[in-house]
Structure 1
Amino acid sequence: MDLHPHDGITLRKNAIGLLGVVFFVIATNGPLTVLMGAVPSAITFGNGIGLPGVFVLIGLIYLLFSVGFAAMAHHIKNAGAFYAYVSSGLGHPLGVGAAFMAITAYASLNLALYGMFGFFGSHLLTHITGLELPWWVVCAVFAIVVHFFSTRNIQFNGKMLGTLMLAEIAIILIFDAGVFIQGGGPDGLTFAPFAPSNVFVPALGSAIVFVISAFTGFETAAIYAEEARDAKRTVPLALYISVIVIMTLYAGSTWLLIAAYGIEEALKTAANNPGEIWFTMSTKLVGAWSADVMDVLMTTSLFAAILSFQNTLSRYLFSLGREGVIWRGFAVLHPKQQTPTIASGFQSVLMIAGIVAAGLYSLDPLTVLMPLAATPASIGIVVVQFLAALAVVGFFHTSKRDANLFQRLIAPGVSAMALGAVLIMMLMNVSLLTGGNPVFDWLLPTSVFAIGLFGVAYAMWLKRNRPAVYQNLARVLNEV
């Protein structure tokens, strides 16, 4: 049965097309942030030169995941995304638990990105103006700017993020072309990074920890279903395009980086000078200007990712508020822009509080705040993706909607098993994310599962005490 929005509260309809959704998704992913921030560490602590092969491996898992996810997107149109999917396929209690984990994960990841922005942004500010400010002051001011942009209409955000994303990809492709034209380094354009003997090594689990984090955000395409034109076509296509672009860009660029240095030198440089590995080679092959542009675009990449996650979180809060799961004030929309202005404001206040607290406690933004905030984010998102894959199977089994065997069972089933294996590997290698602190090694993963269980318990409380709210959870907002 098709259900309709609560009290007529909906986001702006038909506001963005396919390219707009893709821009949001890839901006959320932050290509330069991943390549410059995660790749050097992944080479050193992961499977070394086999890293490009891991990007392909995880990309294929997510393509399988997208098959079932996209099939379900034909029937579900809700800004709550994972919340709506898990509720519809596995039941309301797990749906609310998934929502709470997703909100915690995305908020934690945004705080981690603010930590990175604090480091790079304050350095860029000093370089350009000579003004030296504490990183957390720069971040707090920046959070106000992000809030302003997040409350503008979705078309404006899409155009701006699209421009920034295209600039990022352009400088990455210029670097790639420079390596390709040069014919690589001492070993030429070697394909050793894709050899199974270099990919499937004992340190594969360690590499997966970094690579999974690099793909985070592709699933946010479903969050814009209420605002997308022809959502039943747009969301599935955006998912496929985003995963393919992310996989190809990361695998290809990492391969060419390793090829440019040569296998032995790439390993040494990643270990000894990770912060300069891209800048040094770009200066050599393309020119000093390219390194300067990379430096600026690294900061804009973080801005785009932070803004995209702000939009993601505000829509989760909007969806839950609209259905009465949490404070209904989160469902209030800007009268002109039709964006979740209260939800966005709440998140901005939360981020500023976290930033200021980290600053007052003198936490290093790059070596302390970022890994501690990213750990629950990475684990939480994989848990929710695992549940979403299972939800696809459950949804098509119980609803009897049209979907072929591959869409409704094989693809989601295989991706669920793969994501379950990935989750186990992440938990076994969690010290890579926490920095090896034994307290955080168990505390941060445990907190993710505790929040999920709290969501399940809260849903059961709603069932007993607010049955009307419980029955309306994760309403499918189909208009057909």
Structure 2
Amino acid sequence: MSTGFSSFDGGLRRGRLGTGHLVFFTVAASAPLTVLGGGVTTMYAVSGNIGGAVSYLLLAAVLGIFAVGYAAMSRHVSNAGAFYSYIANGLGRGGGVVGSFIALASYNAIQIGLYGLYGSIVADFMTAKFGISLDWWLWALLAWAAVGLLGLLRVDLNATVLAVLLILECLAVAIFDVAALGHPAGGAITLDGLNPANLFTTGLGAVLALGIASFTGFESGAIYSEEVRDPRRTVARATYIAVAFTGLFYAISAWALTVVTGPENVSATSAAAGPGAIFDTLSRYSGVLVADIANVLFITSVLAALLSFHNGVARYLFALGRERVLPQFLSRVGVRTGAPVAGSLMQTVLALVVVVAFVSTGRDPVIDLFTWFSGVSAVGVVLLMTLTSASVVGYFNRHPHTGESSWQRIVAPALATAALLSILVVLVVNFDALLAPSNPAYLAWLLPSVIGFATAVGLVWGVVLKAVRPQVYAAIGRSTVDATQATLLPESELVGARHN
């Protein structure tokens, strides 16, 4: 079945992405300039912890251990559903359904929340520089239209756009680092910001909560595993590069901010100026033009993250539609582009509905839309990674003769499961650190409950599928297999068709 627009061809366009493409997608989702301008300054302002830079190295180490089992799994399970398919193959089909609902809640949350940040920073910039005063939501809708259009185009075109934006924003962050380290407060560079003793003090929970949110998106390489040229190597390479690059880059930049302000002043400066702490430094030591360009790149950084998360959500919806866990129309792909057009359109519509709801209720785009949804996403993604690490152990326990070492099959994923579970507990317990003082106290438990609700819905839906649609249930999480074709097989064959 096909039309001039889309078809149920059961697969995304293969062979279009290499390691470089995936690195751009994953790092762009983390958005380095957004992390520096928004995440790092907020971390210092909220926590009062001057050792926050060390947290990026610590978290990168944990995520690096996670990536060992994750990368090993990617060599045996290739599916645009990524976490969903990994959990299904490692912890069972019911677990896969749960993972899919958590993933959709998490990635939709961060993607939609970014519209609030984007609209706010563009509105402020246009007012300050050009005297154009428009409501934040008008700028957000312009971004919404651009992201929706790009989501329908070829995935390698998306990667090209992200590559250009990412290179420019990384250059802006590097200029800030040089300027900050070249002009230390008090005339001498201090290493207090890199002292681990300064991390493990007051505010540690808030630091870890905001730090893990900064890495959200690094794991998205597996979402594109069906479109890469070499699935057995590309995803692993891209994930390792993304973790190493972002961890080191964020740590250096966070430390540089303590150097230019002075460790004793970094919290107060960040609280008072927010992103301005970054751009004021650039303006003072690199010139107003450089600061203005960096401001523009800050805007494009958020836009790049919006596009990257949009692509990820669209592919999750595609995979779930293909396997008929969700309505089959979501598996429609573009005839000419190979893009998951139905999933892309669905995410676009959902984002519009949520943004309109926040506008109609008069909520603040940053304090409410961006912060609330970022916190929800952080909880969901850490839970997903915890389940995924556990699923790696489960999968290789049933398939021990796969050529992977004990470190890859058991030790690293077991360590990652324990570490991520600890971070999850800290994140939930300290969720109030992500909320503004003006926010109601009940949000500290209500917002994380969104992920709990998604988990419960996934559990129920998995039970329903198993009872009512056993053929669909039997095909859940299969590796690059068209579920619409799989439903034509006898159930006995489906049960034995699980991929290694």
Alignment TM class, shorter chain as reference: over 0.9
Q: Distance in 2 between matches of 1:334 and 1:130?
A: 41
- Alignment-mate amino acid for residue 301 of structure 1: S
Summarize deviations over 1:325-345 as a string: whole Å, max 9, x none: 001111001111110111111
Residues 367 and 435 in structure 2, CA contact (< 8 A), matched pair in contact too: no
Question: Aligned runs of 1:392-403 on 2, under 5 Å?
Answer: 392-400=392-400, 401-403=402-404
Q: Hey, which bits of structure 1, 4+ residues long, moved more than 4 A?
A: none
Q: Does 1:41 align with 2:42?
A: yes
Q: What is aligned with 2:424?
A: 423
Structure number with higher helix proportion: 1
TM-score by length of 1: 0.95
Partner of residue 218, structure 1: 218
Among 465, 469, 474, the alignment partner of 2:468 is 465
1:437 is aligned to 2:409: no
Q: Secondary structure at the match of 2:453?
A: helix
1:187 to partner: Cα distance = 6.1
Q: Secondary structure at the match of 2:415?
A: helix
Amino acid at match of 2:477: A
8 Å contact 1:42–1:210 — kept in the other structure? yes
Equivalent residue, structure 1, for 2:142: 141
Contact kept, 8 Å, 1:51 with 1:193, in 2: the verdict is yes
Matches within 5 A, 1:233-382: 233-382=233-382
8 Å CA contact 1:101–1:451 kept in 2: the answer is yes
Code of the aligned partner of 2:465: L
CA 1:338–1:8 in structure 2 vs 1: closer, same or farther (change >3 Å)?
A: closer
Does the 8 Å CA contact 2:11/2:480 hold for their aligned counterparts? no
- Range that drifts further, 125-134 or 359-368: 125-134
Question: How far did residue 323 of structure 1 move?
Answer: 0.3
- The 3-state SS of whatever aligns with 1:75 is coil
Task: Tell me whether 104-113 or 434-443 shows the greater mean CA deviation.
Answer: 434-443
Amino acid at match of 2:418: M
Whole-Å separation in 2 of the counterparts to 1:295 and 1:136: 19
1:133 to partner: Cα distance: 2.0
Mean CA deviation greater in 49-58 or 190-199: 190-199
1:23-172 aligned at under 5 Å gives the runs: 23-46=24-47, 48-127=49-128, 129-172=130-173
Instruction: Tell me if structure 1 keeps the 8 A contact 2:47–2:202.
Output: no
Q: Distance in 2 between matches of 1:58 and 1:187?
A: 31
Aligned residue identity for 1:298:
F
Give the SS at the match of 1:226: coil
**Residues 1:7 and 1:110: Cα distance change in structure 2 (over 3 Å):** closer
- Deviation of 1:193 (Å): 1.6
CA offsets per residue over residues 119-141 of structure 1, 9 Å max, x none?
01222333455432221122123
Q: Distance in 1 between matches of 2:134 and 2:221?
A: 36
SS, match of residue 301 in structure 2: helix
**Counterpart Cα distance in 2 of 1:43 and 1:181:** 21
Counterparts of 2:231 and 2:424, CA distance in 1: 30
Q: Is contact 1:431–1:437 with CA below 8 Å preserved after alignment?
A: no
Structure 2 partner of 1:3? none
The Cα shift of 1:477 comes to 2.3
Name the count of aligned residue pairs.
Answer: 474
For 1:141 and 1:309, the matched residues in 2 are separated by: 17
Structure 2 counterpart SS, 1:236: helix
State the distance in 1 between where 2:265 and 2:196 align. Answer: 21
Cα shift readout 1:138-176 (whole Å, capped 9, x = no counterpart): 212321111111111011111110000000001111121
Secondary structure, counterpart of 1:232 in structure 2: coil
Instruction: Give the match's secondary structure for 1:152.
Output: coil
Whole-Å Cα distance in 1 between the matches of residues 355 and 241 of structure 2? 34
- Aligned residue identity for 1:455: G
Measured against aligned partners, the alpha-carbon deviations of 1:302-358 in whole angstroms (never above 9, x if no partner) come to 110000000000000000000000011110011111101111111111111111111
- Once the 2 structures are TM-superposed, how far is the Cα of residue 179 of structure 1 from its aligned partner? 3.0
Q: Return 189-198 or 54-63, whichever deviates more.
A: 189-198
Aligned residues of 1:186 and 1:261 also touching (Cα < 8 A): no
Q: Note closer, same or farther for the CA distance 1:134–1:179 as it changes in structure 2 (3 Å cut).
A: closer
Q: CA–CA distance in 2 between the matches of 1:418 and 1:323?
A: 32
**1:12-27 residue pairs with structure 2 within 5 A?**
12-27=13-28
The one-letter code of the counterpart of 1:447 is V
Q: TM-score, normalised by structure 2?
A: 0.92
Residue 13 of structure 1, CA deviation: 0.5
Question: Which runs of 5 or more structure 1 residues have no equivalent in the other structure?
Answer: 1-5
Aligned to 1:455: 458
AA partner of residue 205 (structure 2): G
Counterparts of 2:131 and 2:280, CA distance in 1: 24
Q: Deviations over 1:362-390 (max 9, x none)?
A: 11101111122222111111111110011
Q: Deviations over 1:5-56 (max 9, x none)?
A: x975111101011111100111111111111011112112225210110111
Consecutive unaligned residues of structure 2, counting only runs of 5 or more, are 1-6, 482-498
Give yes or no for contact 2:49–2:202 (8 Å, CA) kept in 1. no
Corresponding residue for residue 198 of structure 1: 198
Q: 1:231 is matched with which residue?
A: 231
Code of the residue aligned with 1:30 in structure 2: it is: A
Distance 1:146 1:477 in 2: 27
Give the conservation status (yes or no) of the 8 Å contact 1:93–1:457.
no
